């Protein structure tokens, strides 16, 4: 399953925001069942990106 363009735009914005806060991005994973992208930032911040961004 490929990420949608909305997925990629939202992922890019979250990655830039995390790097601006000097936080490490530990995990980025796409759940193919729900078609959501999951991010773990700095061991405590969990982000879910829905298919519509």
Q: How many CB atoms lie within 10 A of CB 10?
A: 20
CA trace torsion 49, 44, 16, 29 (10° rounding): -40
Q: Per residue, what are the HEC states of the chain?
A: CCCCHHHHHHHHHHHHHHHHCCCCEEEEEEECCCCEEEEEECCCEEEEECCCC
pTM over 0.95: no
Average pLDDT across each block of 10 residues of the chain; the chain has 53 residues. List them in order: 90 94 94 94 93 87
């Amino acid at each position: 399953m490929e990420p949608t363009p909305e997925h990629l735009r939202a992922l890019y914005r979250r990655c830039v925001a995390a790097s601006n806060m000097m936080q490490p991005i530990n995990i980025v994973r796409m759940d193919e069942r729900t078609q959501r992208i999951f991010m773990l930032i700095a061991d405590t911040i969990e982000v879910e990106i829905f298919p519509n961004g």
